[in-house]
A and B are shown apart, each in its own frame.
With several copies, the nearest count.
Chain A
Amino acid sequence: MSHVIDPPPLELDWELYRPRHDTLRAEVRAWVDASIRPHVDEWEAQDEPGFPRGLFADAARAGLFGWKVDEAFGGNGVDFLADCVVVEELARGGSGGVAAALGAHKDLGSYYIWRFGTDEQRARWVPPSMHGEIVTALGVTEPHAGTDVARIRTRAVRQPGGDWLLNGTKTFITNGSWADVLVIAAQTTEEGGHHGMTLFVVDKDDPGFTSRRIDTLGWRTSHTGELSFADVRLPADRLLGGEELLHQGFVCIMRNFQWERISMALAGTVAARRVLDEGVRLLVDRHGRIPEGWRWRLADLDAEVRAVRALTVHALRLYLHGQDAVREVSMAKAKASVLSVTVADAVLEAHGASGVTATPWIQRALRDSRLNPIGGGTTEIMLEVVGRTLGL
Chain B
Amino acid sequence: MGFPAAAPATLPRMSTSLFTEEHEALRAVVRRWVEREGAEGAPAWERTGGWPRDVLRTVASQGWLSTALAASGGGDVLAGVAMWEELGRLRSAGVVQDLLAQAHAAALLSEAGVPAVAQRAHAGELLVTLAGGALRLRPDGDALLLSGTAPALANAAVADTAVAVVPDEQGIALAVVDTRLPGWHATPPASPFGRRGGHAADVEFRDVRLAGGDVVARGAEGLALMRRRQDRWRLDHAAATVAAAWLAWEDAKAYALQREAFGRPIATFQVNRHALADMAAELSALRALVHDTARRLTLAALESGDTAALRLRADRVSAAVADRCLQLHGGYGYTMEFDVQRAWRDAAHLRVDEAGDAALRDEIAAGLESRMGGGSS
Give residues in A with beta carbon < 8 Å to B.
Answer: 12-14, 45, 141, 144, 146-148, 151, 171-172, 214-218, 276-277, 280-281, 284-285, 288-291, 293, 295-296, 298-300, 302-304, 306-308, 310-311, 313-314, 317-318, 321, 323, 327-328, 331-332, 334-335, 341, 345, 348-349, 351-360, 363, 366, 370-371, 373-375, 378-380, 383-384, 386-387, 390-392
Contact = CB atoms under 8 A, between A and B. Distances in A.
A277 B370 CA distance: 11
30 contacts: A146-B330, A172-B331, A214-B335, A214-B337, A216-B336, A277-B368, A280-B368, A284-B374, A288-B375, A289-B376, A290-B375, A303-B313, A307-B285, A307-B289, A307-B317, A335-B285, A349-B357, A352-B356, A356-B348, A356-B349, A356-B352, A357-B190, A357-B200, A363-B193, A370-B326, A379-B327, A380-B269, A387-B274, A390-B276, A390-B277
Given A280-B371, A299-B360, A299-B365, 11 more contacts: A14-B18, A277-B372, A290-B375, A300-B361, A302-B309, A302-B364, A321-B16, A331-B280, A345-B348, A379-B327, A384-B274
Contact of B361 (A172, A295, A308, A391): A295
B267 A348 contact: no
B293 to A, nearest CB: 8
Nearest to B340: A217
Contact of B352 (A299, A352, A360): A352
Contacts of B289: 306-307, 310-311
Nearest to A361: B191
A310 B292 contact: yes
Contacts of B356: 352-353
Nearest to A323: B16
Which label, helix, strand, loop or mixed, suits the secondary structure of the B interface?
A: helix
A215 B336 contact: yes
Contacts of B351: 349
A146 B281 contact: no
B91 to A, nearest CB: 15
The 6 A-B pairs with the shortest beta carbon distances in the complex, nearest first, are: A357-B189, A310-B288, A311-B285, A299-B361, A331-B281, A284-B374
Nearest to A380: B271
B362 interface: yes
Given A218-B334, A359-B191, A386 B349 contact: no
Which of A147, A148, A374 has the most CB atoms of chain B within a 10 A radius of its CB? A374
B192 interface: yes
A356 B353 contact: yes
A310 B349 contact: no
B310 A14 contact: no
B209 interface: no
B376 A288 contact: yes
A346 B334 CA distance: 20
A355 B352 contact: yes
A144 B46 CA distance: 29
A335 B151 CA distance: 36
B288 A307 contact: yes
B364 A357 contact: no
Given A146-B330, A313-B292, A392-B276, A351 B281 contact: no
B15 interface: yes
Contacts of A356: 189, 192-195, 348-349, 352-353
B253 A392 contact: yes
B261 interface: yes
A310 B288 CA distance: 5
B313 A307 contact: yes
B338 to A, nearest CB: 9
B57 interface: no
A172 B329 CA distance: 13
B167 interface: no
Contacts of A328: 284
Interface of B: 14-18, 151-152, 189-195, 200, 202, 253, 256-257, 260-263, 267-274, 276-278, 280-282, 284-286, 288-289, 291-292, 295, 305-306, 309-310, 312-313, 316-317, 323, 326-327, 330-331, 333-337, 341, 344-345, 348-349, 351-354, 356-358, 360-362, 364-365, 367-369, 371-376
B285 A363 contact: no
Contacts of B278: 334, 383, 386
Nearest to A45: B191
Given A289-B375, A345-B348, A356-B192, A314 B331 contact: no
B327 A383 contact: no
Contact of B369 (A284, A296, A332): A284
Contact of B337 (A146, A215, A348): A215
Contact of A357 (B152, B272, B326): B152
A351 B356 CA distance: 10
Given A146-B330, A353-B353, A379-B327, A13 B368 contact: no
A270 to B, nearest CB: 15
Contacts of A300: 312, 316, 361
Contacts of A280: 368-369, 371-372
Nearest to A284: B374
A360 B284 contact: no
Nearest to A217: B341
A374 B376 contact: no
Given A335-B281, A353-B352, A373 B327 contact: yes
B190 A374 contact: no
A359 B278 CA distance: 33
Nearest to A373: B327
A372 B195 CA distance: 24
A217 B316 CA distance: 21
Contacts of A141: 331
B108 to A, nearest CB: 21
A375 B351 CA distance: 26
A308 B285 contact: yes
Contact of B274 (A214, A308, A383): A383
A367 B364 CA distance: 28
Contacts of A144: 260
A290 B368 CA distance: 9
B334 A371 contact: yes
A327 B316 CA distance: 23
Contact of B261 (A148, A306, A334): A148
A290 B365 contact: yes
B277 A298 contact: no
A387 B14 CA distance: 18
A291 B369 CA distance: 11
A387 B316 CA distance: 23
A387 B273 contact: yes
B305 A302 contact: yes
Contacts of B337: 214-215
